[in-house]
Structure 1
Amino acid sequence: MTFIKPNKTAILASLLASTALGSAAMAQDQTLMLSQPDIAGDRIAFVYAGDIWTADLDGAHPHRLTSHPANEGRVHFSPDGKMLAFSADYDGNQDVYVMSATGGQPKRLTFHPGRDRVTGWSADGKSVVFSSSRENRFGRSGQLYHVSLDGGLPVKQMEARFFAGSWSPDGKTLAYIPNGPAYNALYGGSSGWRQYRGGATPSVSIMTPATNKVVNIAGDRINDLNPMWVGDDVWFLSDRDNQSLNLYRYDSKTSALTQQTHEGPWDVRSAGTDGTQIVFEAGGRLKRFDPQSGTTTEIKISINPDLEQLRPKWKKLGKQISAIGLSPSAKRAVITARGEVFTVPLEDGSTRNLTGTDGVREFGALWSPKGDKIAYINDKDGAYHLVITDQRAEKSTRRLALGPTGAKAFYTLLNWGGNGTHILYHDNHLNLYTLDLASGTYKKIATNTRRAGFATSVSSDGAWLAYTLEQPNFLADLMLYNFASGQSTQVSDGMSDIGSPAFSPDGKTLYFTASTNSGPTQVGLDMSSQERPYRAGIYALVLSAKGKSPLLPKTGDEEAKKEKAKPAKGKKKKSAKADKSEEKKKVVTKIDLAGLSDRIVALPLPERNYDTLSVSKKGALYYVERTQPGITNEPRGKNPQAANVLKRFDFEEKESKTVSRQIGSYSMSADGTHLIIRKVNNKIVTAKAGEKLKPEALDLGGVKAFIDPRHEWEQIFEEVWRMERDFFYDPNMHGLDWQAIHDRYKPLLAHVGRREDLNALLSEMIGEMQVGHNRVGRGDVHNEPRTSTGLLGADLRIENGQYRIKTIYNGENWNPFLDAPLAEPGLGVKAGDYILAINGRPLSASDNIFALLEGSSGEQVSLKISSSGNASDARTVIVEPTGSERQLRHWAWVESNRKWVDAQSGGKVGYVYLPNTAGAGYAYFNRMMFAQTDKEAMIFDERTNGGGQAANYIIDVLRRVYLSGWKDRDGKVYNTPGGAIYGPKVMMIDQDAGSGGDYMPYAFRFTGLGKLVGTRTWGGLIGISANPPLIDGGFLTVPFFRFFTPAGEWRVENEGVAPDIRVELDPIAYNAGQDTQLERALQEVMDGLKTYQPKDLKTAPPYPTKIGH
């Protein structure tokens, strides 16, 4: 099949317009969106569009050093100014590179599959300093490493946390921040969060390793970033003035702290120094600061590079499909992809792009039941409207308002109604509408009580709408709406949860799902919904009082033939074709509302997780049976949704059979003859409806469009701004002048040179809202192919000029989900052994072992192992390296903590780690808590908790009250409730625990369970996941709901939960192997045990001595 090309003149005009726009932006006196500057004498280095540039101190003679499509950044001059160190993603992973400051071929220094972020140089210029999480066991920060310019294994400098920092000129003192800010867009992250004031605000520490001395620059709940040395003083960025990030100076002799710059409204986002002068970025501009005079000079740079991501080009969109459907008789499929609407033939014809509107987003296309029209939404002129066009888009189109002018809403099309006379849709404010196409007027049908969406079905004659409506009890009722009267009728009684209504084509029956025991699953925010099955039956509603159940038994009797009425005198006899046509037109959906709920019939099917019901032309019922919600450990690379199946219920046989597997979604053509199926792997197939499906792949080769990045990026910018306005939980946006923010950031759009930088601009813009979870990322960014470097699951060190194994992580040998390559039984490899060669290649201290393990993840690798380091006792073993050691190291840390607590408490205290408040946290809690209910007290460690749900399940279990004991003749007594800890409890918290990790300690303290030990939590109790993705597949997470206390106070957001007992993770103690927070938590529990009086009886009372007692 071939694509019908759009008008060549239009394409040429688009190319010219794009080129003009790009050239105009670049030809200005100054190029903006410059970032990450550093300085060495009279030269500066900076990043633009992911490439490294240098220029004179006055901005003259800009020179591009790199042009790889992968990202380069975090550029730092060497102390002598002759070399540049930077991080780059050349092989799909962020590694450390160096190159001459005048240009040339970069040299790679690190090869580990973890992310290595350059932060500077050693004072002698012989090593590059970087942060890496490669050996981290917990926490979101990395650790400090040096890697020699000659290569070899990087050397970890300390165990304590390290995010960014620099060494003093004499190399004796380190100024650093241990953790990164929640405002991570400053470091290439997706979250803009200006004026963040939660627990993860970093403070600058000044450490002298030789003396184990640490000085912390004073500051609480402020962001101190980018520490660097000018002489003996530490300079850094801070927002402690409660305005913008600015440059501050800390006098190391007097401890005096002074603000040096007063930039605003833009933040100073990054800065670099050569020890005498400072260069920084603010608002996409570079500026130079002279510490001696205190003056700031702007560095104006004008560049006009050739940028691959700016080039307009054709793109195949088969993997970017957001909506699919079939024409009424299944001759074509209608597809929405990357903001364009296509129709794709199942057999004859060519793919057509019905829209071809560069820089405008079209979505949600629906084919009319008569087949003559297609409806979709577009955002032309910055507002969402309904568009009605013919199936070839050759005639004039109509554009209709979906709401009042200026409405702050996003709309989703659901169905055609009224036999093609109406359109059904809903908005993001929970309203269901119908729009009369003849008059262009819209009417609200219903409003949901909460954000649940609407499942709809329209009868074949277009007279009736069946829809679901969520009630205050979180369950959805079945409703019927009559287009003629405009009235809705409730069918179900509110005691069950209704889903997926589907009218039969003959208009006699309405099928739907209903669950009478799904209450515990309905509030998905609650962790108590974990592993609660959604069990529903499928039901048939007989619509007419004279109708019959589709399950009535067949009697086998002969039916009397009805004589056909003779035509009146003078009238011609109708042809058979005319009879069939008239019979088809005579389908009328007659619904007798009286006694309707009494005509519900249950289909003979087991209760399962069913959805997406539809009825074929021949009356068979199709539906999807999905996997049950819950926590299961799947083998790596397997999608649990692959177990979803498409079923067909045969009313003749009264049985159901699977007709297709690995179902993502499907829909049926309006005439009930064909299905279009989207598989879990996103493959799209079509098939004729029948007992057995013969799926055929839909040819998506013609689904492509001409994309002009400049135009598309402008659409994305505007839609992100609108979605924040339309979806944010507070319609007033906390009083922020959102239009003014738009107007301030929009001019920078012309300077964006790649999709990644558009994300950076957007994250800064939405960061003005000063809330958490507000993120933007991905989209049509460059994705470098990743090399799968293998890891051995061990700590390796250089000793005696050779690689030696320090620690082997076993990952619990019986656990199939923790790959521990060197711990496999039978290998005989142990800590202390040397690795002499890999795949026959000798290994020495000058080699980087990870370079030899590139491409080895999951592959067989031979290792020459020696206990002595000599070839005399060497042996060869075959192992399969793993792609990640993170879980191995993490679980080793968890187990070491549990064993330490057990040993230090004499077996009285248990330890439970909680990684998040979603699936993993639920699994960890159940595994560790109930296995230690023989303890008297418990420590719950939620440091670095990643959140997810509100942990009511954990709190409910911990609040259990001793109700009774039970005595068997033999064995120990047991209690009701079982699995409870009645003794002292504490919860450990830190700055890396957030979202659900904020809520859990809040609830722990609110319910009086115990004290919180550690540091203030992250501070993000605001929820996301309501708005749709962006046109090119990028994500935006607009916060649309927020936590408040029983006292009616907005709390925790941008605040965090403060500990009862504040304990920092002391870096000196941590370097020595001590966890000061865990030590203090154990002390608190042990102190509590001194006065604790057990509530549960360990022994039963004396046996009764009287009969009947």
Structure 2
Amino acid sequence: MKKIVFTLLSAFAISQVSAQEKVYFTSTPSLSPDAKTVYFSYDGDIWSTDINGGNASRITALEGEEINPRVSPDGKWLAFSSNQYGNYDIYVMPINGGQIKQLTFHQAKDEVESWSWDSKSIYFTSNQNNGFGSFKINLDGKTPEALFTNYFNTTNGLVETPQGEYIFTNSSESASQVTRKRYKGENNPDLLGYNPTTKSYKQYTDYNGKDFNPTVDKNGIIYFISDENNGEYNLYQLANGKKEALTKFETSIKKPFVSADGSKVVFEKDYQLFVYDVKAKTSKPLTINVNSNKSLEKEQNFEVENNIDYFDISPDGKKMAFVSRGIIFVSDNEGKFINQISDGKERVLEVKWLKDNKNLIFNQTYKGYQNWFKISAEGKGKVEQLTSDLRNNRDITFNNDLSQAVYLSGRDEVRLLDLKSLKSSTIVKDEIWAFQNSKPSFSPNDEYVLFSAKRNFELDIFIHNIKKNTTVNLTNTGVSEADPTWSPDGKYIYFSSDRKNPSYPLGMQESSIYRASLDWFDQAYKSEKFDNLFVEEKKVEKKEKKEEKNDFKALTINPEGFLERIELVTDRFGYQTNPFVFTDDKKQFLFYNTNQENGKFQLHRKTTTDFEEDKTDKIFNKGADFIVKNEKNLYALIDNSVYKFGISSTNPEKVSIKYNFNKNLASEFNQMYEEAWAGVEENFYDENFHGIDWKAKKEQYATFLPYVNNRNDLRILLNDMLGELNSSHLGFSSFGKEESRRLNYFTNETGIIFKKDQPFTVEKILRKSPAFLKNVDVQEGDILVSVNGQKIDQNQNRETYFTTPKKLEELTLEFDRKGKTISTKIHPISNNELKSLLYDEWIYENRQRVKKLSNDRIAYSYMKNMSTSELDVFLLDMVEQENRKDGVILDLRFNTGGNVHDKVLNFLSQRPYLKWKYREGQLTVQPNFAPSGKPIVLLINEYSLSDAEMTAAGFKALKLGKIIGQETYRWIIFTSGKGLVDGSFYRLPSWGTYTLDGQNLEKTGVKPDIYIKNTFLDRLENKDPQLERAIQEVMKELK
């Protein structure tokens, strides 16, 4: 184990941030009991400084991040969390220096919250058993214990009062969604209290907003965060039951911590530390100096090999331009001689060669948006900016004589780019959407532009006559026809589609490649081919042949009957997409991706020749992003590498491109910030941005970009900015190789539940777990004495025996069973699998409750989310129960959403419409399953979110039954996302959801018909008033 570092680091080795330069991204602060010393996290380490500021001392220097320093009330110990082994664990060390001791070992995320007042125990929040919950571990390092039962008592931020009461919150808005500001809804966090000795429970605040992050002094005064006054997080106190605002900042605070003596409160504000003087009732920033190692500006080395995002081959076939990590490179067509062309300060996404083989057109971010630029392929001369739009210009295609380009712009424009004047013009304004597009293209004679636009969320195929400036919708079907492309002879349009089902909300579930002829063309005649055998060919020069090859006659386009001329081209098995069509020697080649062989996408080719059977071949064992053709070869981007192959070959050859380049993360982070902001600006579902000045927020948070020290700071900054929108389905995630850990650990779970007070004694066996299986000999009351031959020390943390560098295939456990040693083997599972089984146990207990209280007359189905896998669970529940039960309860409490609302509602809407029977048999209704002919109750609560809210709204609109529980979360915007230059990702909530009378569900949620609240105490005592009321309502209708 790496030991603590106490040192006055050499001023020659490490630069010191002076008093004149403020220190930012100091976080998770706390105070010594006497309020004389401040402890905080900065640049991944724990530091301390005087309460009046000055020079700070680095306390830890472990690999990874150390956060949440907390000093014991007796002032002797410092606890903190560190992810040096991949996940956050709890550590403790003497306050005056010495050996660091690791207390928790489970692979879960353990974050220190506070100490007990006797300085013997540490409280922490962990996702070991569920989403998150409160735990306690003693200073001696024995096995930690969960403080509360029930899978959905997801408590967080727990502190202990001097009287022994626990103060905490029980909401995701105070845990994983802290950055979301101004949320008001049923899931708002309130301060709750529970006394483990007296078993008394109390709700301390009931404001319809956010009250969270409690901290308590020795007098029992509670300090916490609330946004009640102005929508910003400010410091409040709760004394004698009265809530009082202590600050009125216009920007939010974070992470308040009161000293044990109650004299000072330290907190974060604007990424700096502030101290509130309780007696003087004043706040001031803490000015500190730190010895910091500014490494973000240092150049890092990257490789282009297997990291190519886009490429193009020059018209002469000799050169290649490609993009890697947002930078343009140019090489010969074999990838041997490479030169970096762009500087990498902005992100390049697409690059195309101009006709002269010397210049490139590319799109690069400008103020965060993709715009078009021109640059010399030799890397000489200045960059010429062609557009300066505050919208994303993308998906460019050149015409056949390389005189014009077509591209998409923003949410609503198709544009032409004249490749001589380099001027753009808009030819179509329509509902394009600003991402997830099919690429536009030119007809083979360059007369038409083929593009896609949205109708009722589905892609239709359009053609635009450039000269006549007319546009025709060829499909207009109500389902999506995606990826349209011309056949080189101009007779067909190929596309991918699931022709019977819309692609929203589930996405295109089945896809095949189709083609439609542009008129009622006849097939070739064999007799004409025979006659041509005796026609002498006129000899022409090679140059003339080449010119004649591109001399297309006017295309024939007959929109009438277009849908009737659609024909299936590929097999119906599997999923086919991304058609690319080429011709060569009177043969037509269709390349496409399909997963029909083994479930993984592979590149296939279908060859069509007059008077011959079509032939289909597998070309490569991976799918292609796109394919380009030059005179001799095809080139494809496959798995971030360029492959070359002949049009008739089945053996693509990887073009070996090896080159290293340098780039610094500071510059890259600045570009990513701009691009993420612009992406949200262009795609956020509400053009009024929930009443926030989005541009002003960009400027506000950009002032802190120069002080970002590492990737974690960037994550904090961007998520804070996104949180200003008070929106669901937002977030920025990022991981870099610099954050990789040398050591990671895995906890081998068994499904054995041990007793709280006897952590090595079996309390019960979890249903369906490895320990539940018949061949495993474990019983309640058994005492664990050995794991894989290692004898148990009951003074040790039990987690140490089950946590290993990687998952074990099997465990050998020995138990003491009433004096007899029992040995058994178990196949362990992951912690996520264990949590899923704990969730299943909660569902099982609900089902048993329904069965008992309804005398087995009610079908009960629970959906964890609205995914296709949970849809299958629901349908199987109905198949197994509905036709033999008298009523139905569908439970969507704690449901985390998805996109199958339509499928669920359609099933529930089925009503009986007739009966039939075999001779002398029993009459049976049609359809087989007709739940709508029976009483149905839908259960919802404050955690029902996203598509669960869509389902509840639809259930109410269709009047399918009663809704019981609490109002839903108000977390419903359909979302997607975009990647950034380094692989980071940000979410884009782009599609709002509204009731038939226009209410925005993100703002209103869905209210139940009968309001019943389940409290923390109900769950703790294994009570479920909501479910019991649902049973009562169904039974009432059955009388």
The normalised TM-score by structure 2 is 0.89
Which secondary structure state, in structure 1, belongs to the residue aligned with residue 842 of structure 2? Answer: helix
2:897 corresponds, among 938, 942, 947, to: 947
Q: What is aligned with 2:449?
A: 465
Deviation at 1:232, TM superposition (A): 2.1
Deviation at 1:454, TM superposition (A): 3.4
Deviation at 1:669, TM superposition (A): 2.6
* Cα distance in 1 for residues equivalent to 2:403 and 2:788: 71
2:825 corresponds, among 877, 889, 892, to: 877
* Cα distance in 1 for residues equivalent to 2:106 and 2:154: 18
Deviation at 1:178, TM superposition (A): 1.6
Q: What is aligned with 2:851?
A: 902
> Are 1:477 and 1:494, in contact at CA under 8 Å, matched by a contact in 2?
no
* Cα distance in 1 for residues equivalent to 2:936 and 2:875: 17
* Cα distance in 1 for residues equivalent to 2:672 and 2:17: 18
Which secondary structure state, in structure 1, belongs to the residue aligned with residue 55 of structure 2? Answer: coil
2:246 corresponds, among 250, 254, 260, to: 260
Q: What is aligned with 1:571?
A: none
1:615 corresponds, among 578, 581, 600, to: 581
CA spacing shift, 1:183–1:423, aligned 2, 3 Å = farther
* Cα distance in 2 for residues equivalent to 1:643 and 1:742: 40
Which amino acid in 1 is paired with 2:53? G
CA spacing shift, 1:714–1:604, aligned 2, 3 Å = closer
1:686 corresponds, among 638, 643, 647, to: 643
Which secondary structure state, in structure 1, belongs to the residue aligned with residue 793 of structure 2? Answer: coil
CA spacing shift, 1:26–1:861, aligned 2, 3 Å = farther
Q: What is aligned with 2:989?
A: 1039
Which secondary structure state, in structure 1, belongs to the residue aligned with residue 405 of structure 2? Answer: strand
CA spacing shift, 1:242–1:519, aligned 2, 3 Å = farther
Deviation at 1:918, TM superposition (A): 2.6
Deviation at 1:580, TM superposition (A): 5.1
* Cα distance in 2 for residues equivalent to 1:491 and 1:988: 45
* Cα distance in 1 for residues equivalent to 2:308 and 2:68: 36
* Cα distance in 2 for residues equivalent to 1:596 and 1:93: 60
Q: What is aligned with 1:1014?
A: 965
Deviation at 1:174, TM superposition (A): 0.6
> Are 2:634 and 2:647, in contact at CA under 8 Å, matched by a contact in 1?
no
Identical aligned pairs, as a percentage? 22
Q: Does 1:671 align with 2:630?
A: yes
Q: What is aligned with 1:290?
A: 277
Query: 1:525-604, aligned counterparts within 5 Å?
Result: 525=505, 533-539=510-516, 541=518, 549=523, 559-562=533-536, 564=538, 578-579=541-542, 582-584=545-547, 586-593=549-556, 595=558, 602=567
Which amino acid in 1 is paired with 2:589? L
Deviation at 1:559, TM superposition (A): 0.2
Deviation at 1:554, TM superposition (A): 9.3
> Are 1:805 and 1:833, in contact at CA under 8 Å, matched by a contact in 2?
yes
Query: 1:722-871, aligned counterparts within 5 Å?
Result: 722-780=678-736, 782-784=739-741, 787-797=744-754, 803-811=760-768, 820-855=769-804, 858-866=807-815, 868=817, 870=819
CA spacing shift, 1:352–1:970, aligned 2, 3 Å = farther
Which secondary structure state, in structure 2, belongs to the residue aligned with residue 726 of structure 1? Answer: helix
Q: What is aligned with 1:236?
A: 224
CA spacing shift, 1:671–1:52, aligned 2, 3 Å = same
* Cα distance in 2 for residues equivalent to 1:1006 and 1:564: 73
Deviation at 1:868, TM superposition (A): 0.7
Q: Does 1:719 align with 2:675?
A: yes
Which amino acid in 2 is paired with 1:1030? L
Query: 1:252-651, aligned counterparts within 5 Å?
Result: 254-276=240-262, 277-318=264-305, 321-328=308-315, 331=318, 333-343=320-330, 345=332, 347=334, 349-357=336-344, 359-368=345-354, 371-380=357-366, 384-401=370-387, 407-417=389-399, 419-449=401-431, 451=433, 453-459=437-443, 462-471=446-455, 474-479=458-463, 481-482=465-466, 487-488=470-471, 498-505=481-488, 507=489, 509-513=491-495, 515=497, 518-522=499-503, 524-525=504-505, 533-539=510-516, 541=518, 549=523, 559-562=533-536, 564=538, 578-579=541-542, 582-584=545-547, 586-593=549-556, 595=558, 602=567, 605-607=570-572, 609-618=575-584, 619-627=587-595, 642-651=600-609
CA spacing shift, 1:881–1:651, aligned 2, 3 Å = same
Q: What is aligned with 2:10?
A: none
Deviation at 1:400, TM superposition (A): 0.6
* Cα distance in 2 for residues equivalent to 1:421 and 1:368: 9
Query: 1:160-171, aligned counterparts within 5 Å?
Result: 161-170=153-162
> Are 2:15 and 2:293, in contact at CA under 8 Å, matched by a contact in 1?
no
Q: What is aligned with 1:1060?
A: 1009
* Cα distance in 2 for residues equivalent to 1:876 and 1:234: 50
> Are 1:321 and 1:338, in contact at CA under 8 Å, matched by a contact in 2?
yes
Deviation digits for residues 492-526 of structure 1 (CA, Å, limit 9, x no counterpart): 57588544344445x454441365x624223x12x
> Are 2:411 and 2:431, in contact at CA under 8 Å, matched by a contact in 1?
no
Q: What is aligned with 1:1105?
A: none
Q: Does 1:38 align with 2:30?
A: yes
CA spacing shift, 1:690–1:791, aligned 2, 3 Å = same
Q: What is aligned with 1:250?
A: 238
> Are 1:382 and 1:718, in contact at CA under 8 Å, matched by a contact in 2?
yes
> Are 2:123 and 2:159, in contact at CA under 8 Å, matched by a contact in 1?
no
1:705 corresponds, among 661, 670, 684, to: 661
Q: What is aligned with 1:108?
A: 102
Deviation digits for residues 961-991 of structure 1 (CA, Å, limit 9, x no counterpart): 2211222236543222222223222222222
Which secondary structure state, in structure 1, belongs to the residue aligned with residue 292 of structure 2? Answer: coil
CA spacing shift, 1:890–1:626, aligned 2, 3 Å = farther
Aligned residues: 1009
> Are 2:17 and 2:290, in contact at CA under 8 Å, matched by a contact in 1?
no
Which amino acid in 1 is paired with 2:1035? M
Which amino acid in 1 is paired with 2:352? L
CA spacing shift, 1:450–1:688, aligned 2, 3 Å = closer
Q: What is aligned with 1:1081?
A: 1030
Structure 2: state its 5+ residue gaps.
1-13
> Are 2:455 and 2:478, in contact at CA under 8 Å, matched by a contact in 1?
no
Which amino acid in 1 is paired with 2:964? V
Deviation at 1:176, TM superposition (A): 0.8
> Are 1:950 and 1:999, in contact at CA under 8 Å, matched by a contact in 2?
no
* Cα distance in 1 for residues equivalent to 2:246 and 2:234: 7
* Cα distance in 1 for residues equivalent to 2:252 and 2:757: 53
Residue range with higher mean Cα deviation, 766-775 or 164-173:
164-173
CA spacing shift, 1:585–1:843, aligned 2, 3 Å = farther
Q: What is aligned with 1:991?
A: 942
Deviation at 1:171, TM superposition (A): 5.7
Q: What is aligned with 1:60?
A: 54
* Cα distance in 1 for residues equivalent to 2:691 and 2:753: 54
Deviation at 1:743, TM superposition (A): 2.9
CA spacing shift, 1:878–1:286, aligned 2, 3 Å = closer
Residue range with higher mean Cα deviation, 769-778 or 199-208:
769-778
* Cα distance in 2 for residues equivalent to 1:26 and 1:392: 44
* Cα distance in 1 for residues equivalent to 2:579 and 2:634: 12
Deviation at 1:428, TM superposition (A): 2.8
> Are 2:212 and 2:225, in contact at CA under 8 Å, matched by a contact in 1?
yes
Deviation at 1:37, TM superposition (A): 0.9
Residue range with higher mean Cα deviation, 1006-1015 or 754-763:
1006-1015
The structure, 1 or 2, with the larger RCO (C-alpha pairs under 8 Å, 6+ apart) is 1
Deviation at 1:73, TM superposition (A): 1.6
> Are 1:32 and 1:284, in contact at CA under 8 Å, matched by a contact in 2?
yes
Which secondary structure state, in structure 1, belongs to the residue aligned with residue 273 of structure 2? Answer: strand
CA spacing shift, 1:849–1:351, aligned 2, 3 Å = farther
Which amino acid in 2 is paired with 1:33? F
* Cα distance in 2 for residues equivalent to 1:534 and 1:763: 36
CA spacing shift, 1:31–1:790, aligned 2, 3 Å = closer
* Cα distance in 2 for residues equivalent to 1:603 and 1:588: 30
Q: What is aligned with 2:84?
A: 90
Structure 1: state its 5+ residue gaps.
1-21, 187-191, 566-573, 629-638, 812-819, 1091-1109
* Cα distance in 1 for residues equivalent to 2:861 and 2:898: 18
* Cα distance in 2 for residues equivalent to 1:28 and 1:370: 55
* Cα distance in 1 for residues equivalent to 2:894 and 2:479: 39
* Cα distance in 1 for residues equivalent to 2:456 and 2:165: 61
* Cα distance in 2 for residues equivalent to 1:617 and 1:418: 14
* Cα distance in 1 for residues equivalent to 2:661 and 2:766: 50
* Cα distance in 2 for residues equivalent to 1:382 and 1:666: 25
Q: Does 1:179 align with 2:127?
A: no
* Cα distance in 2 for residues equivalent to 1:119 and 1:552: 83
